[in-house]
């Protein structure tokens, strides 16, 4: 079961955007597995995509289309990743874009495709094309919750976040978004899939910058298993139906960026809370590093250590595993006597050894919690970073061993 509160919020409607879902029977008959986002004319879209060299066909096509035309539709399927499918996969992907374009009177390049599911199987494009009219009939400003469910794969819960933001100028902007992912999570530029929209007008360059900033603090700071998907994509839509936000009003811009960052962190950490087989939600905070990269190197070494992750699954305060991970993170000239290590409020280690004040009972009290913060103070500089991760359980192995059955 997911860790902590993962309930969907009451979604704010985003003017200029409608969402519809349908069942194409891609993997399971009757399951809602197809989603369409309809964007108002004049909308602008920013996107980031996986850096995995074996990127999926929809990633290739979406990148191409995003650079050629103003997007009017997002087309998302679950149950099939259309990755590792070569030229046939590209053709199938383009076929679905052409079919939606024909039904809606737009150019195929105005459709951005996204897929998630099993890698290496050809996309059943005819099934998707046949279900498009049903999804279009369901288009609604209130389609966020159905879409959050329709884009799930091994997710145990749908993921969404929403905010209404009052800007200093008096303008009000609605923000809503959904994400999906539970395994194959260590995003590199984006998440498994994430879609966020706001009813505001922004220049394209500014929208791109807002997305990069928000992703950098959220989706690019989570990891479940260290695997970057072939299909990662995260999109930010500004529908243009609403107030204009620009660099001419830095006060409005700062408030909007802060709200976006908060919403993105929620969507990203929901993925960790729903990590495959997860029983713990773990924040790793590295402080006083010599650089941002150094802080991230330490955080991810701890987050990806199977020994650390299994200790947390066992609720075992085996703090030696944490010290070992920090020590092998590749920090040049690390003075271990300056490192201080905490589990939540409990100081575990300092001056190169167990803290004199530490007791096994204190450590056990923290490890019995579902949500735990590992705090690592390096005393080397002023850089601070945080990463969110999970433990490693029997269920993670089972879920992935049975993924195709």
pLDDT at 191: 62
Q: What is the pLDDT along the chain (405 residues), one digit of tens a residue?
A: 899 999 999 999 999 999 999 999 999 899 999 999 999 999 999 999 998 999 999 999 999 999 999 999 999 999 999 999 999 999 999 999 999 999 999 999 999 999 999 899 999 999 999 999 999 999 999 999 999 999 999 899 999 999 999 999 999 999 999 999 988 888 876 668 999 999 999 999 999 999 999 999 999 999 998 888 889 999 999 999 999 999 999 999 999 999 999 999 999 999 999 999 999 999 999 999 999 999 999 999 999 999 999 999 999 999 999 999 999 999 999 999 999 999 999 999 999 999 999 999 999 999 999 999 999 999 999 999 999 999 999 999 998 898 776
Are both 41 and 172 inside the same structural domain?
Answer: yes
Are both 223 and 127 inside the same structural domain?
Answer: yes
Domain boundary among 231, 255, 273: 273
CB-based contacts of 380, cutoff 8 Å, min separation 6 = 288, 289, 290, 294, 331, 334, 335, 338
| Catalytic center residues | 191
Distance CA 370, CA 254 (A): 34
Are both 240 and 294 inside the same structural domain?
Answer: no
Helix (H) or strand (E) holding 34: strand 34-39
In a domain, 10, yes or no: no
Are both 319 and 226 inside the same structural domain?
Answer: no
Domain boundary among 241, 273, 305: 273
Strands (E), 147-232: 159-166, 172-180, 193-201
Are both 220 and 114 inside the same structural domain?
Answer: yes
In a domain, 294, yes or no: yes
pLDDT at 184: 83
Helix (H) or strand (E) holding 57: helix 57-66
Residue 59, CB half-sphere, CA atoms under 13 Å: how many?
27
Range of the domain at 327: 281-401
Are both 183 and 299 inside the same structural domain?
Answer: no
pLDDT at 1: 83
pLDDT at 120: 94
In a domain, 125, yes or no: yes
Count of domains observed in the chain: 2
Are both 54 and 192 inside the same structural domain?
Answer: yes
Are both 249 and 336 inside the same structural domain?
Answer: no
φ, ψ of residue 107 to 5 degrees: the values are -80, 145
Are both 140 and 237 inside the same structural domain?
Answer: yes
Are both 260 and 298 inside the same structural domain?
Answer: no
Are both 244 and 227 inside the same structural domain?
Answer: yes
pLDDT at 367: 98
pLDDT at 245: 94
pLDDT at 189: 63
């Amino acid at each position: 079961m997911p860790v902590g509160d993962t309930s969907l919020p009451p979604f704010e409607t985003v003017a200029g955007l409608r969402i519809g879902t349908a069942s194409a029977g891609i993997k399971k008959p009757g399951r809602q597995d197809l989603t369409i986002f309809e964007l108002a004319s004049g909308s602008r879209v920013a996107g980031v995509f996986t850096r995995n060299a074996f990127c999926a066909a929809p990633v290739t096509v979406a990148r191409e289309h995003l650079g050629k035309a103003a997007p009017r539709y997002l087309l998302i399927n679950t149950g099939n990743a259309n990755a590792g499918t070569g030229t046939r996969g590209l053709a199938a992907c383009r076929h679905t874009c052409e079919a939606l374009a024909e039904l809606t009177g737009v150019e195929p390049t105005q459709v951005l495709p996204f897929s998630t599911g099993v890698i290496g199987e050809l996309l059943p494009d005819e099934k998707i094309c046949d279900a498009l009219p049903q999804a279009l009939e369901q288009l609604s400003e209130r389609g966020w919750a159905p879409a959050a469910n329709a884009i799930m794969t091994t997710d145990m819960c749908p993921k969404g976040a929403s905010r209404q933001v009052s800007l200093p100028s008096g303008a009000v902007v609605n923000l809503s978004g959904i994400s999906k992912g539970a395994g194959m999570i260590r995003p590199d530029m984006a998440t498994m899939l994430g879609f966020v929209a706001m009813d505001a007008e922004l220049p394209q360059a500014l929208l791109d910058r807002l997305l990069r900033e928000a992703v950098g603090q959220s989706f690019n700071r989570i990891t479940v298993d260290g695997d970057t998907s072939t299909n990662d994509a995260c999109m930010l839509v500004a529908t243009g139906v609403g107030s204009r936000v620009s660099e001419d009003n830095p006060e409005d811009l700062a408030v909007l960026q802060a709200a976006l960052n908060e919403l993105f962190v929620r969507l990203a950490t929901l993925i960790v809370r729903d990590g495959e087989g997860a029983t713990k939600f773990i924040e790793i905070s590295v402080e006083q590093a010599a650089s941002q990269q150094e802080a991230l190197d330490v955080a991810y070494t701890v987050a990806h250590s199977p020994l650390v992750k299994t200790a947390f699954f066992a609720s075992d305060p085996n703090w030696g595993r944490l010290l070992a991970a920090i020590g092998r993170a590749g920090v040049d000239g690390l003075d271990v006597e300056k490192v201080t290590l905490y589990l939540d409020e409990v100081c575990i280690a300092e001056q190169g050894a167990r803290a004199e004040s530490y007791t096994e009972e204190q450590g056990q009290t923290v490890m019995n919690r579902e949500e735990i913060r590992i705090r690592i103070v390096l005393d080397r500089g002023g850089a601070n970073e945080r990463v969110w991760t999970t433990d490693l359980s029997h269920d993670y192995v089972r879920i992935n061993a049975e993924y195709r059955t």
